[in-house]
């Protein structure tokens, strides 16, 4: 009934169970946070996407299971930040997330996600932070990610099962300050990225990757 409520912050409590689907009826809601409750479980309700004015959706640090709902794409141009890290989410990353054209932060690390990195994430032209580490992602890092090159500052892909080499076109990430690709099966040289002056760049450069400018080698 709280249809005029703008913010709902319930994080850092001992909440248990599931998120009520009725939250989606709060059509004026711009911020919804249940971060770091740890014992919230069940799946992420698709009905949340009915709150189409949502600006921040903060669900990290819980025990949510199931997949990332593709229905979240219904947030369209409203959603600015999506925090899903530190849960038990599984399945693949929905390609529909590339429709969130105003998204600046996407954090999905520390889950059980599988499959490849969707090329559609390159459509997120104002994205500043993309973190996907500590999942079970496979395949190569898509060159299409450079679609967000004007704004991307943080790209953390470490502790996955990614392979292949880093695309040469990543030289276009001229605003990048943090780039972690260690603990994967990535090979080849990333010397071409040294002129970018990336402050924090971690790679498996003891044996697999050639990098004389990396901050740390593993």
pLDDT of res. 142: 95
- Residue positions counted in the chain: 218
Average pLDDT over residues 186-215: 95
The pLDDT of residue 208 is above 80 = yes
The pLDDT of residue 1 is above 70 = no
Q: Tell me the pLDDT of the chain averaged across its residues.
A: 95
The pLDDT of residue 149 is above 90 = no
Average pLDDT over residues 72-93: 97
Report the C-alpha gap between 176 and 32 in whole angstroms.
Answer: 29
CB-side exposure of 143: number of CA atoms within 13 Å? Answer: 6
pLDDT of res. 113: 98
pLDDT of res. 178: 98
At 57-76, the pLDDT tens digits run 999 999 999 999 999 999 99
pLDDT of res. 46: 96
Average pLDDT over residues 140-147: 91
Q: How large a percentage of the chain has pLDDT more than 70? A: 99
The pLDDT of residue 214 is above 90 = yes
CB 163 within 8 A of CB 139: yes
CB 130 within 8 A of CB 104: no
At 181-198, the pLDDT tens digits run 999 999 999 999 999 999
| Sheet arrangement for strand 185-186 | 90-91, 112-115, 136-139, 161-164, 185-186
pLDDT of res. 2: 73
The pLDDT of residue 33 is above 70 = yes
Report the C-alpha gap between 42 and 49 in whole angstroms.
Answer: 17
In this prediction, residue 91 has a pLDDT band, given cuts at 50, 70 and 90, of: very high
Average pLDDT over residues 127-155: 92
Report the C-alpha gap between 41 and 39 in whole angstroms.
Answer: 6
């Amino acid at each position: 009934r709280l249809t005029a409520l703008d913010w709902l912050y319930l994080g850092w409590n001992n909440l248990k169970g599931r998120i009520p689907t009725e939250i989606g009826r709060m059509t004026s809601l711009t911020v919804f946070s249940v971060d770091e409750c740890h014992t919230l479980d069940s799946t992420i309700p698709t009905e949340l996407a009915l709150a189409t004015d949502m600006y921040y959706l903060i669900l990290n640090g819980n025990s949510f299971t199931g997949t990332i709902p593709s229905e979240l794409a219904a947030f369209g141009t409203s959603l600015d930040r999506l925090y899903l890290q530190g849960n038990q989410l599984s399945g693949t990353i929905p390609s529909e997330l590339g429709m969130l054209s105003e998204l600046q932060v996407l954090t999905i690390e520390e889950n059980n996600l599988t499959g490849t990195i969707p090329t559609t994430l390159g459509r997120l032209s104002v994205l500043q932070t993309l973190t996907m580490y500590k999942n079970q992602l496979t395949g190569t890092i898509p060159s299409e990610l450079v679609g967000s090159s004007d704004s991307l500052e943080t790209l953390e892909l470490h502790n996955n099962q990614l392979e292949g080499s880093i695309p040469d076109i990543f030289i276009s990430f001229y605003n990048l300050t943090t780039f972690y690709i260690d603990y994967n099966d990535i090979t080849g040289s990333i010397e071409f990225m040294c002129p970018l002056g990336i402050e924090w760049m971690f790679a498996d450069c003891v044996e697999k990757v050639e990098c004389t400018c990396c901050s740390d080698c593993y």
